[in-house]
Amino acid sequence: MLDYTTYWYLLPLGILIATLYNSTGISGANFWIPVFILLMKVSLLVGFWLSLVAMLFGSIGGLIGHSRQGTIVYHLVKKYLLVTIPFAIIGACSIEYINANWLLLIFGIFASLYGLVLLLKTTLLTTSANITASNDGKIQYPQGALGGFLVGLVSVGLGPLILSGNIHHRRVQHHAQAIGTTVIIVFVSSFSAVLCRLTPSFTSALQANTDTILSMFIYVIPGVLIGGQIGPIIAKRLNLKAMRIYVSVLLLLVGSLMFVRFFGA
């Protein structure tokens, strides 16, 4: 039986996370993973999968919003998907051979390192809110491949690895375009990973928690759809340097929480 009252707070939380994701290009799974694993107390593998699903719904709203704002460069999307999709599938298939607790540690390390690097780059280097000069037309295929693999394995990693390259690509005239482009690349790659994780054993684990999952998602889905509309608007108006500092601090916090969970397991 569905519980219509317990998880009401996931509605405003979903709006917040999806707004953050769609205004920065940093995967919402970074923030959904601690919500499902630490707050909702679901198993690690189910928590990683649910974070991808929640992020996908937020991306749907974001894709609509970014399309309206004209902030998607489809040329870059097509190029990156050539490598991100197959590597996301490889990462998803690798989960069967890795202990779930080690996945938690990998995620914590990634979130902490990326948050630290982002913070140092932002505070030590001058970052313009708008892109006034484009650097090159290179597609960062190695970063796309590694990011796709990480998405399949631990639900995150692709956005941070390709966002910087998208920002400096000659086809991108404003950082909002880089964010919108990154959002759709992460969306399609993550969708591939979600489907590949649906093995018979994993499907059984989902079925055992069907009522709880549905009770949560009746609030998660509308929340992330709303946030997906707000994020693209903010992306066009937000100061890029301030946004990066804010996101880096959040990622450091998330990484720290994962370390506490891992060593306390």
- The pLDDT tens digits of the residues spanning 215-263 come to 999 999 999 888 888 887 777 776 767 777 877 888 888 888 888 877 7
Whether the model clears a pTM of 0.75, i.e. scores above it, the answer is: yes
pLDDT of 174 > 90? The answer is: no
Instruction: Please compute the mean of the pLDDT values over residues 54-74 and round it to a whole number.
Output: 81
Of residues 29 and 82, the one with the higher pLDDT is 82
d(CA 184, CA 175): 15
Instruction: Please compute the mean of the pLDDT values over residues 126-137 and round it to a whole number.
Output: 50
pLDDT of 121 > 50? The answer is: yes
CB-based burial label for 206 (10 Å; 0-12, 13-18, 19+) = middle
The pLDDT assigned to 125 comes to: 59
The pLDDT assigned to 8 comes to: 92
The pLDDT assigned to 132 comes to: 44
pLDDT of 131 > 80? The answer is: no
The pLDDT assigned to 95 comes to: 84
Of residues 120 and 133, the one with the higher pLDDT is 120
pLDDT of 130 > 60? The answer is: no
Instruction: Please compute the mean of the pLDDT values over residues 8-21 and round it to a whole number.
Output: 89
Between 11-20, 57-66, 218-227, the lowest mean confidence (pLDDT) is in 57-66
Instruction: Please compute the mean of the pLDDT values over residues 10-20 and round it to a whole number.
Output: 89
Instruction: Please compute the mean of the pLDDT values over residues 208-216 and round it to a whole number.
Output: 85
- Enumerate the domain spans of the chain: 10-264
pLDDT of 75 > 50? The answer is: yes
Of residues 197 and 127, the one with the higher pLDDT is 197
pLDDT of 69 > 90? The answer is: no
Between 101-110, 157-166, 228-237, the lowest mean confidence (pLDDT) is in 228-237
The pLDDT assigned to 136 comes to: 66
pLDDT of 134 > 70? The answer is: no
The pLDDT assigned to 59 comes to: 76
The pLDDT assigned to 251 comes to: 83
The pLDDT assigned to 225 comes to: 86
